[in-house]
Amino acid sequence: MRYMGIDFGTKKIGIALSDEAGSMGFPHCIIPNDGRLIDEILALIERKNVEAIVIGESMGMDGTENKVAKLAKEFAALLERRSGIEVFFEPEMYTTQEARRDFEGVRMPGSPDVDASAAALILTSYLTRTHG
């Protein structure tokens, strides 16, 4: 079963895809958050045979929902309606910061695929938690 992971942002969306076994997420691409976003994601879902979607659940430092979380939930509802695929949420605190680090723990500012890497971390976290 193939999963899609999404790191939702107001300007761009990081996308990750799982392996076909649904055991681990891998960075795939970044899509601008513009008027074509939903259609581009729906086309990708069809091309890659995605069967489930995981979106990062954004929270403030105090554990409350932030502005991005509200927009992400609205987007998730639209995506679920348009695709017919169930959308799950996974806590995403610090995934972008973690994605900016290389294997030795050194920050890599401006890395172009940080959002896709963050989506992969969100997806892998969900898969590990739910599929052990």
What secondary structure does DSSP assign to the chain, as a single string? -EEEEEE--SSEEEEEEE-TTSS-EEEEEEEE-STTHHHHHHHHHHHHTEEEEEEEE-B-TTSSB-HHHHHHHHHHHHHHHHH---EEEEE-TTHHHHHTB-TTS-B-TT-TTHHHHHHHHHHHHHHHHHH-
Report the C-alpha gap between 45 and 85 in whole angstroms: 9
Q: What is the pLDDT along the chain (132 residues), one digit of tens a residue?
A: 999 999 999 999 999 999 999 999 999 999 999 999 999 999 999 999 999 999 998 876 677 777 888 999 999 999 999 999 999 999 876 555 554 454 345 445 555 578 888 899 999 999 998 986
pTM flag (> 0.75): yes
Domain ranges for the chain: 2-131
What CATH number does domain 2-131 carry, 3.30.420.140, 3.40.50.450, 3.30.565.10, 3.90.950.10?
A: 3.30.420.140
Report the C-alpha gap between 84 and 71 in whole angstroms: 19
Q: Tell me which residue of 43, 26, 48 sits closest to 127, measured CA to CA.
A: 26
